[in-house]
Amino acid sequence: MNQQLDDLRKQIDVLDEKILISIAKRVNIVRKIGKYKKERKLSVFDKKRWDQILKSNLEKGRKLNLSEEFIKNLLNLIHKYSLDIQEKINNEHD
């Protein structure tokens, strides 16, 4: 029985690593977006885009049988982190 639990936990560990790798890739893209917005003097926050992301991912989450509250919390956390990164880029002196 412990072996089965260990195997399941190893599967979780692999998935957690994939999640972190995906987040790191996303952060790299967020940095590029931050630089693009800074060069063009665009606002860091784009409400229209945020609403689109939220709506789209809530639909995907529902199809995957994930809690709407969980998806909202996760997306809000990721979005806040992304905005923080872009704000730092925007405030950097050239």
Q: Which domains does the chain show, CATH number per domain? A: 2-91 (1.20.59.10)
Residue 54 has a pLDDT of 96
Question: pLDDT 10s per residue in the chain (94 long)?
Answer: 699 999 999 999 999 999 999 999 999 999 999 999 999 999 999 999 999 999 999 999 999 999 999 999 999 999 999 999 999 999 998 6
Length of the chain: 94
Residue 93 has a pLDDT of 84
Residue 1 has a pLDDT of 67
Residue 10 has a pLDDT of 98
User: Residue 43, class by beta-carbon neighbours within 10 Å (0-12 exposed, 13-18 middle, 19+ buried)?
Assistant: exposed
